[in-house]
Amino acid sequence: MAKNGTITGLKFDEAAIKKLLSSEEVQDDLNRRGQAIADACNADSSWGGYESGPVDGAEVASVNVWSIGENDDEARRQRLIRFMDAGA
């Protein structure tokens, strides 16, 4: 169990992990993965309303992929879940 940067006797440098997770390289990788998921969703969609982008104000690298305007279509077809592997 994790507590105070320790997991079963292993110690982690939390500042170094945060620095890594905040790096431009990690953000670039997440952006690439998010865009690949959005592209796969758009290829399967007649309306092409999926977008990807970084999360504003996030402390560490983060990305969102979302549908624009056709939420009921997304709810029926669940493209964001089905094409998650496109970001691998």
pLDDT digits (tens, 9 = 90+) for 52-62: 999 998 989 99
Question: pLDDT tier at 1 (50, 70, 90 boundaries)?
Answer: very low
72/21 Cα distance (integer angstroms): 34
Q: Count of CB atoms within 10 A of residue 40's CB?
A: 20
Residue 71 burial class via C-beta count within 10 angstroms: exposed 0-12, middle 13-18, buried 19 and up: exposed
86/88 Cα distance (integer angstroms): 6
Task: Look at residue 15 and tell me whether its pLDDT is greater than 90.
Answer: yes
DSSP state of 16: H
Task: Look at residue 22 and tell me whether its pLDDT is greater than 60.
Answer: yes
Per-domain residue ranges for the chain?
A: 12-87
